[in-house]
Amino acid sequence: MNIDIILGKTQEHLVPLEGTKYLVHEQMLHDFLRLQHSAQKDGFDLQVASAFRDYDRQLKIWNAKASGEKQLIDDQERPLDYSQLSPTQIVFAILRWSALPGCSRHHWGSDIDIFDGNTQTASEVKLVPSECFNNGPATKLHDWLDVQLSQKKAFGFFRPYVTDHGGISPERWHLSYYPISRRVIDVYTFSVFKRNILESEIMFKEIILEHADEIFQRYIMGFDLP
C-alpha cells in the first residue's frame, strides 16, 4: 500500500465516475455501479455527493474551520460561537464533522457520500443527519440500504459511521468499500498518523500533537465494521 494513497497525496489509484465530477478507486467502481443499479431497480436514484478528496482540499477545509472562516456546528447542527471556544474546543468541534488532512477516508477512493437524486439535487445536499432520518429526503434510500446491508446485498459496501463512538458524528450517508478500506486501515498506524501531522501545515498543530493518542483512537480507529 502506497503511503501517498492513505494520505490523499496521489490520484494514481483513481478513475472517473462517469457522468459526475468525482473520482473513485478503480477497484471499487464496478461494485458501486452494481449497487447503483440495484437501487435503481427498486426506485432510487443513488448518487454520489462526495467521493475522493485530496490532501490539499482537506487541509483547506480544516484551516477554514480552524480560523473561524467556516461555520462550526454542534451535534444538533446548531451554529457554534467561534469566539467563545478555546483552541482545544475548536479542534474537537471540527473533528466531530471533518477529518484532519491525511486522515479522511475520502482520501482512499473507497469511500463515498450518497443521496437520492429523486428527492434532492446535488446542490441541495448538505450531508447532515436530518436529511437521512424521519421525513428527510434521503431517509427512504437509507432504509432500503439497511435492508440490503442486512441481506449482504450491498456489493462490499458498509457504513463505517453508524454508531457514535464519541469521535466522528454518525454519518448515515457515508459508505465505504470494505475490500479497499480494510487494506488501508491495516497499515494506518499511529506512527503514520503522527508523522503526517508533524509534516503538515495544519492550524492548531501543537494541540493536535498534544492529544495525538486520543485523536487517533477516537477519530481514526473509532468506526464500525461491516
User: Dihedral sign, CA of 196, 6, 49, 11?
Assistant: positive
Query: Based on CB atoms, which residue is closest to Zn ion, 113 or 116?
Result: 113
CA 50/CA 48 separation, integer angstroms: 6
Query: Based on CB atoms, which residue is closest to Zn ion, 52 or 216?
Result: 52
Please give the residues from 82 up to 121 whose contact with Zn ion meets the rule CB under 5 A.
113
What is the closest distance, in whole angstroms, from the C-beta atom of residue 173 to Zn ion in the complex? 7
- Rounded alpha-carbon distances, angstroms, from residue 23 to 15, 71, 112: 5, 27, 10
State the burial class of residue 53 (Cβ atoms within 10 Å of its Cβ: 0-12, 13-18, 19+): buried
What is the closest distance, in whole angstroms, from the C-beta atom of residue 96 to Zn ion in the complex? 13
Query: Based on CB atoms, which residue is closest to Zn ion, 39 or 168?
Result: 168
What is the closest distance, in whole angstroms, from the C-beta atom of residue 115 to Zn ion in the complex? 11
Note whether 197 and 102 are within 8 A (CB): yes
The residue nearest Zn ion at its CB is: 174
What is the closest distance, in whole angstroms, from the C-beta atom of residue 87 to Zn ion in the complex? 25
The CA-based diameter of the chain, rounded to the nearest angstrom, is 51
Count the alpha carbons within 13 Å of 171 in the hemisphere toward its beta carbon: 27
* Interaction of residue 131 with Zn ion, rule CB under 5 A: no
Please give the residues from 156 up to 175 whose contact with Zn ion meets the rule CB under 5 A.
174
Query: Based on CB atoms, which residue is closest to Zn ion, 44 or 161?
Result: 161
What is the closest distance, in whole angstroms, from the C-beta atom of residue 174 to Zn ion in the complex? 4
What is the contact surface with Zn ion in residues (CB under 5 A)?
113, 174
